[in-house]
A and B are shown apart, each in its own frame.
Chain A
């Protein structure tokens, strides 16, 4: 028996969580060094907030009503930019093939990419919220709003990562992702805007809970769907 055979017979299999962790580590390490994705998302998000600020010239009353819409439009646009870039990095140097060649359940790739995309989106949101508070003179430090932003971001990134892995295989990936993504995430955006609005207007939990429940159900369904179909989506 030669050396290669001996090693092959005792070949370890990587764990699911080990692979997920490796992808998250790789994405964060690469981003920490290049800062390409985060800086693009941040600049874009801040520009959107600024444009809305100058374009709408809201008074104190309408500001409270418009804030959830402006916030979620900002998060959705910046998120799309990040999702596109995150998958383009994998595709451009053939690294997506490198990931697909690993002997792991391919859903581990999906979860790894989803968690790192979520981390990038949450970082952008954490920077945008205080800046928005100052610019619009609105207090956004509401625990309920933070929960809504977390749930909305999970759903948005769960769907976005799946669709970006599909769009990245095409020549028109930059255009295709928003066209595919926005119709699918409309329920999330509506529920997130309504729930955010409820918390900012000081409504009771019973008024906001239907939207929170919708967000939770949407998150669970789309994570489950992505888990089942990711293997087929990324295969040629």
Chain B
């Protein structure tokens, strides 16, 4: 579903990604781990067509980037730590707007389904700026899955959420991922992703320094795996 070969990304003289190779099969939930500044967000922005690779090959849902970016975007849902929602529109109006931008069929019915899924039906006519951070993030997930994308990219979705909101978000992430979607989620919170992902990749110094499936890793071994991967990359 996602294939990346020898990806390089440079900002001026600074090289952030240094020949990164990455592959995700259909239906996999990959947690992309790494310290701050490792290049996780840069990598996700390239997959999301928001940034162009300097060199290398990137394919998402069978389409090459950046040449077929529009086709990739129609199969992609993105959630970042910013909600990408308009505070002066209601929850329903935000979904209506994005639904029209994606040309979603039977939009009203789909909006009802999404609001039900994210637990915001009773707040559908409230302005988004009156929502708590957790509610905004749930609606952001609703926005991302509105056009039924095959691939979901989550960039640190738990940032700024309290414990209860994180737990609620995890439940929603599980439900969304369980519908057969391919998910890549960046995080530096190991405890949070341990139960969510089916595979863990560590991005360090611009490359994937280690990768392991959950069933290949013993319980509570993620921290060891992560530390070894970082040490090996030095």
Contact = CB atoms under 8 A, between A and B. Distances in A.
A14 B101 contact: yes
A135 to B, nearest CB: 33
A21 B48 CA distance: 24
B55 interface: no
B139 interface: no
Contact of A4 (B80, B83, B104, B181): B181
A19 B98 CA distance: 9
B147 A93 contact: no
A21 B84 CA distance: 19
Interface string A1-44: 01111011001111100110111011001110110000000000
A27 to B, nearest CB: 9
Contacts, number: 111
Given A4-B180, A5-B180, A29-B89, A94 B100 contact: no
Contacts of A99: 101
Interface of A is mostly: helix
B100 A101 contact: no
B208 to A, nearest CB: 22
A204 interface: no
Contacts of B45: 236
Contacts of B97: 22, 25-26
Contacts of A14: 100-103
A104 B150 CA distance: 18
B148 to A, nearest CB: 4
A95 interface: yes
B143 A98 contact: yes
B80 A94 contact: yes
Interface string B67-107: 00011011110101011111111000100011011111100
Interface residues of B, number: 42
Interface in A66-113: 89, 93-95, 97-105
A14 B146 CA distance: 14
Contacts of B212: none
Interface string B25-61: 0010000000000000000010011111000000001
A4 B82 contact: no
B80 A101 contact: no
B127 interface: yes
A13 B103 contact: yes
B50 A101 contact: yes
Contact of A5 (B82, B101, B150): B150
A236 B44 CA distance: 13
| Central interface residue in B49, B75, B147, B181, by most chain A CB within 10 Å | B147
A93 B78 contact: no
B179 interface: yes
Interface residues of A, number: 38
A235 interface: yes
Given A4-B150, A93-B83, A104 B101 contact: yes
B8 to A, nearest CB: 15
Contacts of B88: 29-31, 33-34
Interface string B137-162: 00000010001111000000000000
Contacts of A100: 49-50
Given A8-B150, A22-B97, A29-B89, A95 B180 contact: no
Contacts of A103: 70-71, 73-74, 102-103
Contacts of A18: 100, 103
Given A13-B74, A95-B84, A4 B100 contact: no
16 contacts: A2-B27, A14-B101, A14-B102, A23-B101, A33-B127, A93-B84, A94-B84, A95-B85, A97-B48, A97-B84, A101-B50, A102-B73, A102-B101, A103-B103, A104-B70, A104-B101
Interface of B: 27, 45, 48-52, 61, 70-71, 73-76, 78, 80, 82-89, 93, 97-98, 100-105, 127, 143, 147-150, 179-181
Given A29-B93, A97-B82, 11 more contacts: A8-B75, A14-B100, A25-B100, A26-B86, A30-B88, A95-B85, A98-B143, A100-B50, A103-B70, A104-B70, A236-B51
